[in-house]
Amino acid sequence: MHSQEHVVIIGAGIIGATSAYQCLEAGLRVTLVEPEQPGDEQAASFGNAGWLSSHSVLPPATPGAWKHVPKWLTDPLGPLAIRWKYFPKALPWLTRYLQAASNYTKIERTAVALRSLLAGAPGLHQEMAEKAGVGHLIVRTGLLHAYLSKEHFEQDAKAWDIRRKEGILWKELDAAALAELEPDLDRRYTFGVLVPETGSCRNPGAYTAALITHAQARGAQLICARATGFRIEQGALQAVMTDVGEIPCDKAVIAIGARSKELARLAGDKVSLESERGYHAVVLAPEVGPRIPTMFADRKVITTPMEHGLRVAGQVEIAQTDDTPDWRRAEILRKHLVALYPKLPADLPTDRITIWMGRRPSTPDGLPCIGLASGCGDIIHAYGHGHVGLVGSARTGRLVAQLASGVQPEISLAPFSPQRFQSHV
């Protein structure tokens, strides 16, 4: 491998950004292809909850989750929505999604794989952010799970046992300790779990953009274009094709999040990927709020103090990637927020709220696709991180650089094989 190897990274979300960072570290020449402003609203990386949750090792579904689906779908404040006209198309993915978490043996296998990807991620992000001049965006105060009662926490015991097996430690807080830590929180929440090894990002979009700017300062080229395919000759990659022409290169990385399926197919792999749409609402200049980013198991929302306001994020909406947003989902989040922090005004004026919809790139088993393409070993898959793309991007970038340099990856990539869906897509 010589220093002139040229890698084209397609997509400048957080996965493309960390991949660019690490490919430059590895001495590769880097070109990024992105049709929009990096880290802007089109990217899931813009509006996520900012959790650097190295303990998020469980797949989103749990055994028996299907039993709750009818209730969630009919609850006006529920966490799940399906656009019924899209339902038949999404059904195979949905079935596999529930099957992947149908028993705890499967879930433990997923947890081992995810832990190998996520362990140490907050520190890796801290290091990259500091090098990119935005160290202040990463905070290491841990993450909090708030429960209505200790009994509710105990209903989640299996999940926490799996985390314990993966070496994850936490601190349990009784009502008094929780109220002391989070004085503005609704007092109906009487039990907390604080996970100290984790962290959060106070502006994920700005962090993504800063990593790209940093990569440019180190010599990476950013081309404003949409990738459309590959020119492959005798099994070797010649160029990435875009709507503004071809970019000759030695290697390419598919990192376009929820839109990766078609490029993956052109690289020889049929992958199971859906956009699991989510929403956020941000209250500007909030009167009160959490000190530590908090997840509420009963409401399935996360509240995070951000650089520019208080963000509440969540919701899973299964719909066609480009269907119009259903802004009632963001309104649901706002309602949760004012219920959680009762000192927030119930009638917040609309000019103090911003809302957003984004697309989680989700595989049915909750594991990303990271590995070489079947159709051409010069093409690298790096997408499908679902609910953990921000935290998971740190090690993913390193793995991409290792694959692009022909170096043995630092963890086993077998669980993340892009070919694992071949038999059933």
Ligand X SMILES: Cc1cc2nc3c(=O)[nH]c(=O)nc-3n(C[C@H](O)[C@H](O)[C@H](O)COP(=O)(O)OP(=O)(O)OC[C@H]3O[C@@H](n4cnc5c(N)ncnc54)[C@H](O)[C@@H]3O)c2cc1C
Query: What is the contact surface with ligand X in residues (CB under 6 A)?
Result: 10-16, 33-36, 42-45, 48-51, 226-227, 255-257, 259, 278-280, 313, 358, 360-361, 383, 385-391
CA 128, 134, 136: angle at the middle one, nearest 5? 110
H or E stretch including 175?
helix 175-181
Q: Which two tokens stand for residue 94?
A: 């949905």
Of 190 and 290, the one with the shorter C-beta distance to ligand X is 290
Of 310 and 313, the one with the shorter C-beta distance to ligand X is 313
As measured in angstroms, the least distance from the Cβ of 371 to ligand X is 15
Distance, CA of 151 to chain centre: 29
User: Can you list the positions of beta strands (E) in 322-397?
Assistant: 353-362, 369-372, 379-383
Distances (CA, A) of 332 to 75, 94, 280, 326: 11, 23, 10, 11
Contact 208, 13 (CB under 8 A): yes
Contact 75, 407 (CB under 8 A): no
Residues 6 or more apart from 239 whose CB is under 8 A from it?
230, 231, 246, 247, 248, 249
Of 279 and 421, the one with the shorter C-beta distance to ligand X is 279
As measured in angstroms, the least distance from the Cβ of 174 to ligand X is 26
Residue 358 β-bridge partners:
278
Of 42 and 320, the one with the shorter C-beta distance to ligand X is 42
Of 259 and 398, the one with the shorter C-beta distance to ligand X is 259
As measured in angstroms, the least distance from the Cβ of 110 to ligand X is 16
- For β-strands 171-173 and 309-318, DSSP reports them as unpaired
**Hey, what amino acid is at 220?**
A
Residues 6 or more apart from 37 whose CB is under 8 A from it?
209
Of 78 and 257, the one with the shorter C-beta distance to ligand X is 257
Of 190 and 254, the one with the shorter C-beta distance to ligand X is 254
As measured in angstroms, the least distance from the Cβ of 38 to ligand X is 6
Of 50 and 192, the one with the shorter C-beta distance to ligand X is 50
Of 166 and 190, the one with the shorter C-beta distance to ligand X is 166
As measured in angstroms, the least distance from the Cβ of 243 to ligand X is 8
Q: How many CA atoms lie within 13 A of 240 on its CB side?
A: 31
CA–CA dist 2, 25 (Å, integer): 13
As measured in angstroms, the least distance from the Cβ of 333 to ligand X is 9
As measured in angstroms, the least distance from the Cβ of 400 to ligand X is 11
As measured in angstroms, the least distance from the Cβ of 272 to ligand X is 16
Of 321 and 405, the one with the shorter C-beta distance to ligand X is 321
As measured in angstroms, the least distance from the Cβ of 151 to ligand X is 27
Q: Which two tokens stand for residue 90?
A: 């999404």
The size of the chain, in residues, is: 425
Of 15 and 400, the one with the shorter C-beta distance to ligand X is 15
Burial (0-12, 13-18, 19+ Cβ within 10 Å), 355: middle
CA–CA dist 418, 425 (Å, integer): 12
As measured in angstroms, the least distance from the Cβ of 212 to ligand X is 10
Q: How many CB atoms lie within 10 A of CB 265?
A: 14
Q: How many CB atoms lie within 10 A of CB 281?
A: 27
CA–CA dist 288, 18 (Å, integer): 33
As measured in angstroms, the least distance from the Cβ of 322 to ligand X is 11
| Phi, psi at 125, each rounded to 5° | -65, -45
